[in-house]
Copies of this chain bind each other. A is one copy, B any other.
Amino acid sequence: RYGLAEKEDQIGVVTGLAWTSVGGDLLSIEALRLPGKGRMKTTGTLGDVMKESIDAANSFVRSIAPSIGVKPPKLEKWDIHVHVPEGATPKDGPSAGIAMVTSIVSVLTQIPVRKNIAMTGEVTLRGHVLPIGGLKEKLLAALRGGIKTVLIPEENEKDLTEIPDNVKQGLEIIPVAHVRDVLSRALVRTPEPVEWDEAAEEAAAAALKSESEKPGRVAH
């Protein structure tokens, strides 16, 4: 089953695309949301560049939390674990960035990811999508694996001229410039924003706290 598209829409499971010396491959990315303290755990024999790309993806998502319906203090109550099977295979590089963002947003919002979609693209702290290498090998692997739709960086659109026609006919290839475009394609529904005014929330919390700490509210 590994190297194939997912069989159903799942929360936190995203298909990335890897490019190695022996060709392209599907990269299954899994995230879990656990009760915790806002920590990020990563496993799957990931190199430093991939670990940092998860850090960057995570910070980006935290910075837009209200826009995906998550109030920031809630983030301190959960840990996130991102795992990339198969554990025996080392993985590295920044090009799974947008897949990491999608996986994290999916577990935070509990909105499933469409099963027939794959994606590749580095992500910046602002959610911009940067170009990647190995486009041809990655698209071939997607086709082989039964993927229907592939999201690629807009800056790689120019490289599509080198892609065989049968690949371009077998796949819906969608260039994306920002994570916004990724999420609207990859999640089965769009997250609802929540209103969040940090200053107002802090004031309310402080008021509540001082009230409950006040001793001697004794009704005689």
Residues of chain A at the chain B interface (Cβ within 8 Å)? 1-2, 10, 12-13, 28, 30-32, 34-35, 41, 43-45, 48-49, 52-53, 55-56, 59-60, 62-63, 72-73, 75-76, 81, 83, 85-88, 93-94, 97, 122, 124-126, 128, 130-131, 155, 198, 210, 212-220
In the complex, what distance in Å separates the CA atom of A130 from the CA atom of B157?
A: 35
Selected contact of A52 from candidates B87, B131, B219, CB within 8 Å: B87
Closest B residue to A81 by beta carbon equals B59
**Residues of B close to A35: CB separation below 8 A:** 62, 72-73, 75-76, 198
In the complex, what distance in Å separates the CA atom of A177 from the CA atom of B45?
A: 23
With A43-B52, A52-B44 given, is the CB distance from A122 to B218 under 8 Å? no
With A212-B213, A218-B216 given, is the CB distance from A43 to B55 under 8 Å? yes
